[in-house]
Amino acid sequence: MTPAPDSDQSPVNRARFDQQSADQQQNSDSGPFRKSIFHDSGFRWWHEVAVFVLLVLVLMVAQELVPGFLNPRSQLLLSRHVWEMALISLGMMLIIITAGIDLSVGSTMGLCAVAFGVSFEMTSSILLSCLFCVLTGFGCGALNGALISRWRLHPLIVTLATYAAYRGIAEGWSQGHSWSGFGASFSQLSRGRLLGIPYPGLTFFALTVIAAIVLWKTPAGKHLSAMGYNEKAARFSGIRVDLNRFLLFCISGTLSGLAAVFYVARFDTAKADAGEGFELDAITAVVAGGTSIFGGRGNVIGTILGLLLIHETRQFVGRYWGIEELKSIFVGGLLISFVLIYQFLRPSGQRV
């Protein structure tokens, strides 16, 4: 199927692999398996523990330097900024687990916001507009997924193309126009609370629980992991790799649509620039949360911790130094250092 010559087939690779397995043999003289600090104990949460410790550290430092940083009310107030990104991260996590990537999420939000505005102008019905907005997101994701799974194109290049295309369509369609005045009841969607938690937060937690159940309690979760670790073996085990990949991008697109609804509600403005730069924040949160950028490993708890870490770091940097731009330096730096650390910490066999 693959037109390119299979690099695994080359004698050199074989030779290197042989070398490796020979080394393995030397280490395994003591028993049927090799000892490893990471897998001997069977404890697989080191990454989550590390992120948690880091998070606590950040919070402690922040509380020390910024009085009242940990105040629950201000924390909840500031949490408004995080929910849309959180929703997107959820879809991004699933895609990265399968060793894919989706760069188009932010642009999808922009297109969805414009779709919302246009349909509100036409129907002046909030409900229909929301529906249309989410459907647009679904369509965007489905197009990504179809291109990637049907043509076996690289997710990176497809979503890079749609990153430009969706934002471009949003700009072209809206012509710089922005829509607002959707009414107080609609903005209540982002401000209103149940049990002290804003509605977007509730949505996020509900979806997170579903994702956690799917990942841990259904075969689908294991299938996704298998796809990420070794797509070939997954195909050989009868897992419908292409279908799964398509569905994941549909989910990611739909979540972007949902995030766009909350975004529009929060600002009471629908504009083509909605969600700009969200793709980077989402990827950083997911990667910081211990999901391997090479696929396979990843879980919901890590992603929540990663989100919190990114969010709190940004809040702290913003409030302490008062410089907006410092945030992006921190986010970019965090992303690179997490991957770098992960590369050096993981057991040698997994290196790509």
Partner 1 sequence: MSQLPLRGWSRLLARRDIGILLLIAVTTAVVGFMDSRFISLDVWLGIFIRSAPTMIVACGVMAVILTGEIDISAGSLMALLAAVMGLLISQSKAALSLWIGIPAVLALGTAIGTGTGLLVSYGRVPSLVATLGLMTALRGLTTIVMGGKNIDGLPPALQDAAKRGWFGVPVSVWVASLVVLMTSLLFYRMPLGRRIYAAGSSPASARAAGLHIQRIQVFTFAWAGFLTAVATLVDVPRLPWIESGIGSDLELLVITCVVVGGVSISGGRGDLSSVLAAVVLMTMIRPVLTFLDVGEMGEKWTRAIQGVFILLAVIADQISIRFLWRKSAKVRR
Partner 2 sequence: MEAGSHSNRPLIEIRGICKSYTGVVALSDVSLSLMPGEVHALCGENGAGKSTLIKLLAGTVRPDSGSISCLNESLSHEVLLSGSVKAAEDAGIAVMHQESTAFPDLNAVDNIYVGRELTVGYGLLLNRSEMRRRTHELLHRLGEHFSIDRPLRELSLAQRQMVALARALSLKCRLLIMDEPTASLSMRETQRLMLLVRQLRSDGICVLYVSHRLEEVFELSDRITVLRDGRLVSTRPTTEVTRTSLIHEMVGRDLETLHGVSKSESITAGADSHTGLAAGRATGTAIELTGLTRIGVFEDISLSVRAGEIVGLSGLVGAGRSEIARAIFGIDPCDFGSISISGKTLNRWTTGDMINAGVAFVPEDRQHEGLVLQMSVADNILMTNYKHVTRTGFISARAAHQLVDDQVKRFQIRAASSGLMVEFLSGGNQQKVVLGKWLAGRPRVLILDEPTRGVDVGAKHQIHELIEQLAGEGLAVLLISSELPELLRLSHRLIVIREGRIAGEFASGNVSQEEILAISLPDAGRSAESRQ
User: How many residues bind partner 1, per CB under 8 A?
Assistant: 57
Exactly one of 147, 259, 305, 308 binds partner 1 (CB under 8 A); that residue is 147
Q: How far apart are CB 292 and partner 2 at their closest, in Å?
A: 9
The piece of 10-18, 190-198, 213-221, 261-269 that touches partner 1 (CB under 8 A) is 10-18
At 193, give phi and psi (nearest 5°). -130, 155
Residue identified by tokens 């107030």 is 77
Residue closest to 278 by CA, chosen among 205, 318, 331 = 331
Considering only CA atoms, which of 4, 23, 20, 2 is closest in space to residue 12?
Answer: 20
Query: Alpha helix (H) ranges present in 289-346?
Result: 300-320, 324-345
Residues of this chain that bind partner 2 (CB under 8 A):
1, 4-5, 8-12, 15-19, 21-22, 24-25, 28, 31-34, 36, 39, 42, 213, 217-219, 222, 225-226, 229-230, 232-240, 296-297, 347, 349-350
Q: What is the DSSP string of 112-165?
A: HHHHHHHHHHHH--HHHHHHHHHHHHHHHHHHHHHHHHHS---HHHHHHHHHHH
Under rule CB under 8 A, residue 68 binds partner 1: no
18 binds partner 1 (CB under 8 A): no
Q: How many CA atoms lie less than 13 Å away from 115 in the CB half-sphere?
A: 28
Taking alpha carbons only, the member of 3, 280, 4 closest to residue 159 is: 280
Which one of residues 88, 93, 95, 335 is an interface residue with partner 1 (CB under 8 A)? Answer: 335
Of 63, 135, 168, 242, the residue at the interface with partner 1 (CB under 8 A) is 168
Q: Considering the complex, state which of residue 99 and residue 148 has its C-beta at the smaller distance from partner 2.
A: 99
Binding flag, residue 345, partner 1 (CB under 8 A)? no
CA-CA distance, 158 to 153, in Å (whole number)?
7
Q: Which residues bind partner 1 (CB under 8 A)?
A: 3-5, 7, 10-13, 101, 147, 151-154, 156-158, 160-169, 171-172, 174-176, 277, 280, 283-284, 287, 293-294, 323-329, 331-336, 339-340, 343, 351-352
